[in-house]
Amino acid sequence: MNLQDMMVHRDNSSRTVDKYLMSYEGRVIAVRRHPAVLLAPVAIVVAGLVACSAVSAVTGLLWVWWLWLIAIGYLVWKVIAWSVEFFLVTEHRVMVVNGVLNRNVAMMPLAKVTDIALNRSMAGRVLGFGEFVMESAGQKQALRNVGYMPYPEQLYLEVSSVIFGSVDESPD
């Protein structure tokens, strides 16, 4: 099973994605961002737990735990936002769909994409994510940087083959 089959099977039931496709468009790649995007909210919850435990143990104040509930609410909100955010590539466009209450759809036609680069930080190499940087003809586009892409090398090859076409013969 190749990467495209895995992505289509995983996100096949998502009506969120299909709402933004034109009638003649088929979904080629649809993937969520890497879960590492949730590391900062998790760190806030853990730090809040430690801080509230220390304050509660030293001062005996129990109301500080309400502050920790705010941090947990923030984490829950970020998980919900992550679960409804998708990176899409069709035969005609590249899109990022995100937002829980207000939906945002950033789109770039494939014809305008002139170059795509893959950047991986040290954390990205360890955790398995990367950032796509797309260059376009003309003005600055909304989809210039798309971070936290999962399995970046494979996804980069799949996206590149959709954007620039695949050549079946060797370059020699």
Domains in the chain with CATH codes: 3-33+85-164 (2.30.29.30), 39-78 (no CATH)
Host H or E run for residue 107 = strand 104-109
Q: Where is pLDDT greater, at 32 or 9?
A: 32
User: Which pLDDT tens digit goes with each residue over 31-69?
Assistant: 999 999 999 999 999 999 999 999 999 988 888 899 999
| Cα–Cα nearest to 26, from 37, 39, 12 | 12
Mean pLDDT within 76-90: 94
Phi/psi region, residue 136 (left: phi>0; alpha: psi -120 to 50; beta: rest), is: beta
CA distance 28 to 110: 13
Higher per-residue confidence, 104 vs 169: 104
Which of 39, 116, 41 has its CA nearest to residue 72? 41
User: Which among 77, 61, 35 is positioned nearest to 53, based on CA atoms?
Assistant: 61
- pLDDT for 97-122, tens place per residue? 999 999 999 999 888 888 899 999 99
Buried b (16+ CB within 10 A) or exposed e, 22-51: eeeeebbbbbbbbebbbeebeebbeebeee
In the structure, what pLDDT confidence band is assigned to residue 18 with cuts at 50, 70 and 90?
confident
Is residue 90 within a helix (H) or strand (E), and if so which, with residue range? strand 86-90
pLDDT of 163: 83
